[in-house]
Amino acid sequence: MHDPSWLAPTTFVDSDHPRVIAFAREVCGEAETTKERATRLFRAVRERFRYDPYSFSPDPSALKASSILAHDRAWCVPKAVVLCAAARAVGIPARLGFADVRNHLASEKLLRVLGTDLFVFHGYVELAIDGANVLATPAFNSALCERFGVPVLELDGEHDAMLQAFDAEGRRHMEYVRDRGRFTDLPFDAIMAAFREHYTRGIPRQAEDSAPDEVFQG
């Protein structure tokens, strides 16, 4: 039995918002099992939002699940927020998790802007499915994975679906270097503080070079 907070709406994981409820119900359709609902939601969030780190906004309201659903692009944290909220909306206990990762999918321009290849507070979701806790990150849509030559993550409802440790050629790719913990709501202040500390050259949206990064377009 999970803590009731895994199902309760919060400031950012506003699972009781009509837009979130409508999205979750539309995606789940006639799915009868928790596993099927979870896998449908994972795939929908992964593909509905094109991964775009330049879509970052420092406005807290932009990171509410209901607000994120009004757009078609997002980065890892808002995509995790939407999956968490949608899961709760259909009765799947869920909470947010965060970790620092190295060798994240990134362009040369993005790495230059950030000044590091360490991505802090990468977002994922912990889902309670049939008595087990499963970790899942819906960050990277299939088109982006193909562009970078890494496998598309799939959730089967039984095994963790986290970021790819190896690319399609078997070369070392993603590495988790620090666990930031798990939360029932988005730790907004902690995330912003970590961004200011680690991204000393600024975050993508704040960069002086505002020319489009073609890697994340289309």
Over residues 93-152, the pLDDT tens digits come to: 999 999 999 866 677 888 887 888 889 999 999 999 999 999 999 999 999 888 888 889
Question: Could you tell me the residue range of the domain that residue 81 belongs to?
Answer: 4-207
Q: Is residue 178 part of a domain?
A: yes
Exposed e or buried b per residue across 109-137, where buried means at least 16 C-beta atoms within 10 angstroms of its C-beta: bbeebbeeebbbbbbbbbbbbeeeebbbb
Alpha-carbon gap, residue 160 to 153, rounded angstroms: 10
Q: List CB contacts of 203: < 8 A, sequence separation 6 or more.
A: 56, 113, 114, 195
Would you give per-residue pLDDT tens digits along the chain (218 residues)?
A: 678 999 999 999 999 999 999 999 999 999 999 999 999 999 999 999 999 888 888 899 999 999 999 999 999 999 999 999 999 999 999 999 999 998 666 778 888 878 888 899 999 999 999 999 999 999 999 998 888 888 899 999 999 998 766 656 666 567 889 999 999 999 999 999 999 998 877 666 544 445 556 666 65
Determine, yes or no, domain membership for 213.
no
Residue 127, φ and ψ in degrees, nearest 5: -110, 140
Find out whether 198 and 118 touch, Cβ atoms under 8 Å: yes
Give me the number of domains the chain comprises: 1
Strand partners, 123: 98
CATH number at residue 192: 3.10.620
In a domain, 140, yes or no: yes
What is the distance between the alpha carbons of residues 53 and 56, in angstroms, rounded to a whole number? 6
Q: Are 178 and 4 in contact (CB under 8 A)?
A: no
Kindly state whether residue 197 falls inside one of the protein's structural domains: yes
Q: Which pTM was predicted?
A: 0.91
Residue 76 in any domain: the answer is yes
